[in-house]
């Protein structure tokens, strides 16, 4: 018995000194567990596997090549942005018919949070209203220009206010036809928190509008959103005698309709990630966060300098732990509780955009979107998601047309060639359009 006890003590002593039993952090343990599960499922990654992050370029939006909402240059759209299709006749008819319905007491209930987006003219109304003197007023003729509101702290405000004039929507009509790109403008580093038009009848800004998702009008309009305004006017305080300034509303939001859609950089890529928080890691659906991103050397007026910024469009949040992209918590950006999964099959919301400063301008193109920090906060600490060449990757870079997995849909079931891709970076494992 003594001999057995002695041997056991000796073994325990050896175990205590063995390197594999040294204490490691929770974060390191999670990464080791993830690597083990990944390789058991998909095999060992090729030594040159870069997970799609190599060879990405930075966009130049610096002082000499800037594209700003207050300095419209359509020639730059074609070079840097995916330009949406012009408004079609069928689209025009469908949208006008929907907005021509009476909606007494309606207020806007659709929350859109974008920074980079296109605005297209759809319709200027024909409704004529009687003013306080009984004279006819064509409402749309008195809707001078369009204003949009952005959040405080937005990178490139042209002034110290939060409202910005959307160019090309002035004097009652847009500068062009709704069927052409001349009836559109591009907003960059702007916002969609609120919309308003200037009313020349009472010299006020009015923000009585509704937003309708295109998919709620017709499936062919999915991805577009439409903003419709209801015209009315009221005299300023102390000018009760000016009855010509008083026009009652009719609760039909078709006096002015514009289409908005998020702007996409041509070189944007999609990042899909696993947050490592799962105890089993059995699904590998890579949808705990899904976002599109591009880097730009951009002139920041408020800083009077060029900076390296990331333009980010958040698409989905399939995780249920706090997760941060460039220090912004993704569930908060969607406006929902951390426990809710967004756009992975359970709860649907519009995409969210924001712009983050990553540092000084990178003229030598040394950074890629892999450098955008992605972190998950677990009960035992914060984990930074990484993608290292030749190792099991916690985030992947794919084309912006990639269709991400639904919740608990293993990536190898949706895309069987992913298994071959792990050991051969040249395998086209998903369809790129």
**Is 194's pLDDT higher than 50?**
yes
**Euclidean distance between CA atoms 211 and 257, whole angstroms:** 10
Burial of 144 by CB count in 10 Å (0-12 exposed, 13-18 middle, 19+ buried)? middle
Quick one: pLDDT at residue 165? Answer: 82
**Is 176's pLDDT higher than 90?**
no
**Is 383's pLDDT higher than 50?**
yes
**Is beta strand 289-300 parallel, antiparallel or unpaired with respect to 59-61?**
parallel
Rounded-to-10 torsion of CA 135, 141, 144, 149: 100
8-state DSSP, 274: -
- Which of 6-20, 33-47, 313-327, 393-407 has the least mean pLDDT? 6-20
Quick one: pLDDT at residue 179? Answer: 55
Domain boundaries, the chain: 26-57+267-423, 67-264
Q: Are 293 and 312 in contact (CB under 8 A)?
A: yes
**Is 394's pLDDT higher than 90?**
yes
SS3 of 91, please? helix
Mean pLDDT of the chain: 85
- 1-23 mean pLDDT: 43
Q: Give the pLDDT band (50/70/90) at residue 13.
A: very low
- 45-70 mean pLDDT: 77
- Which of 91-100, 146-155, 234-243 has the least mean pLDDT? 146-155
Q: What Cα–Cα distance (Å) separates residue 296 from each residue in 42, 122, 188, 327? A: 35, 31, 12, 18
Look up the pTM and report it: 0.85
- Which of 154-168, 260-274, 399-413 has the least mean pLDDT? 154-168
> What does the pLDDT look like over 224-267, one tens digit per residue?
999 999 999 998 887 887 888 888 999 999 999 999 999 999 99
Quick one: pLDDT at residue 374? Answer: 97
Q: Are 393 and 343 in contact (CB under 8 A)?
A: no
Provide the strand spans (E) within 208-304: 209-213, 225-229, 256-262, 264-265, 269-273, 289-300
Q: Which two tokens stand for residue 302?
A: 């408020």
- Which of 146-150, 287-291, 428-432 has the least mean pLDDT? 428-432
Q: Which two tokens stand for residue 107?
A: 């207020």
**Euclidean distance between CA atoms 311 and 288, whole angstroms:** 20
Greater confidence (227 vs 29) lies with 227
Q: Give the pLDDT band (50/70/90) at residue 15.
A: very low
**Is 283's pLDDT higher than 90?**
no
Q: Which two tokens stand for residue 102?
A: 């009476």
**Euclidean distance between CA atoms 280 and 277, whole angstroms:** 9
What is the largest distance, in Å, between two alpha-carbon atoms of the chain?
112
- Helix (H) / strand (E) element for 196: namely strand 194-199
Pick from 99, 96, 227, 255: nearest CA to 166: 227
SS3 of 7, please? helix
Greater confidence (12 vs 32) lies with 32
Greater confidence (26 vs 43) lies with 43
């Amino acid at each position: 018995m003594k001999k057995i006890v002695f041997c056991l003590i000796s073994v325990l002593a050896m175990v205590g000194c063995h390197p594999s039993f040294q204490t490691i952090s929770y974060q390191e343990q999670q990464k080791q567990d993830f690597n083990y599960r990944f390789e058991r499922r998909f095999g060992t990654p090729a030594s040159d596997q870069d997970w799609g992050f190599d060879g990405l370029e930075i966009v130049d939006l610096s002082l000499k090549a800037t594209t700003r909402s207050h300095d419209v240059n359509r020639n730059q759209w074609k070079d840097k942005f995916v330009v949406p299709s012009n408004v079609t006749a069928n689209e025009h008819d469908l949208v006008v018919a929907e907005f021509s319905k009476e909606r007494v007491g309606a207020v806007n209930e659709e929350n859109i949070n974008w920074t980079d987006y296109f605005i297209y003219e759809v319709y200027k109304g024909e409704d004529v209203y009687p003013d306080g003197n009984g004279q006819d007023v064509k409402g749309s003729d008195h809707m001078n220009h369009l204003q949009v509101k952005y959040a405080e702290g937005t990178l490139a405000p042209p002034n110290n206010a939060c409202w910005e004039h959307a160019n090309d929507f002035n004097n009652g009509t847009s500068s062009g036809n709704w069927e052409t790109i001349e009836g559109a403008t591009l907003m960059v580093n702007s916002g969609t928190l609120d919309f308003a038009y200037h009313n020349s009848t009472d010299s006020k800004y009015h923000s009585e509008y509704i937003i309708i998702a295109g998919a709620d009008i017709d499936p062919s309009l999915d991805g577009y959103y439409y903003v419709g305004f209801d015209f009315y006017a009221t005299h300023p305080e102390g000018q009760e005698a000016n009855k010509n300034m008083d026009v009652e509303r009719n609760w039909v939001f078709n006096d002015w309709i514009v289409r908005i859609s998020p702007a996409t950089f041509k070189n944007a890529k999609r990042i899909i990630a696993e947050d490592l928080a799962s105890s089993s890691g059995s699904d590998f659906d890579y949808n705990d966060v899904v976002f599109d991103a591009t880097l730009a050397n951009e002139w920041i007026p408020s800083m009077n300098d060029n900076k390296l910024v990331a333009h980010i469009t958040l698409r989905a949040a399939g995780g249920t732990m706090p997760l941060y992209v460039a220090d912004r918590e993704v569930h908060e950006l969607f406006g929902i509780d951390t426990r809710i999964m967004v756009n992975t099959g359970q709860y649907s919301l519009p995409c969210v955009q924001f712009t983050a400063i990553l540092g000084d301008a990178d003229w030598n193109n040394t950074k890629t979107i892999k450098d955008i920090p992605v972190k998950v906060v677990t009960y035992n600490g914060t984990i930074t998601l990484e993608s290292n060449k030749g190792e099991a990757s916690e985030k992947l870079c794919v084309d912006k047309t990639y269709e991400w997995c639904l919740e608990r849909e293993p990536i190898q079931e949706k895309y069987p060639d992913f298994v071959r891709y792990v050991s051969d970076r040249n395998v086209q494992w998903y369809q790129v359009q």
